[in-house]
């Protein structure tokens, strides 16, 4: 990941953003030599958010399975049939 000081981001914001859009690679912004923030383009951000949502749903499903909150395939089909077009 490319490291960019915050002062450079301030001076060259348009260029940094253009680079993000082109490369889709994250940039680590540093402040006083320490990692302070990460910049990504909007497309990458949206993709990461969608992945996190999916992982959250998977984790909830695993928790439900472990807790015994399950129904049979037949019951699931019957419930879903109510929503069929």
pLDDT in tens, 7-50: 999 999 999 999 999 999 999 999 999 999 999 999 999 999 99
Cα maximum dimension of the chain: 62
Nearest to 31 by CA among 54, 3, 66: 3
pLDDT band at 84 (very low <50, low <70, confident <90, very high): confident
Per-residue pLDDT, 58: 97
* Mean pLDDT estimate for the chain: 95
| C-alpha span between 31 and 45 (Å, rounded) | 22
User: Phi and psi of 32, rounded to 5°?
Assistant: 55, 35
According to DSSP, the β-strands at 2-5 and 34-39 are: unpaired
The CATH class that applies to domain 2-40 reads alpha beta
pLDDT at residue 54 above 90? yes
């Amino acid at each position: 990941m490319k490291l960019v000081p915050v002062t450079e981001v301030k001076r060259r914001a348009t260029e940094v953003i253009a680079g993000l859009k082109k490369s889709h690679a994250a940039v680590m912004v540093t402040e006083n030599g320490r990692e302070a923030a990460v910049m990504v383009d909007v497309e990458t951000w949206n993709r990461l958010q969608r992945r996190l949502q999916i992982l959250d749903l998977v984790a909830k499903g695993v928790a439900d399975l472990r807790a015994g909150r399950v129904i049979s395939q037949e019951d699931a089909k019957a419930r879903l049939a109510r929503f069929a077009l």
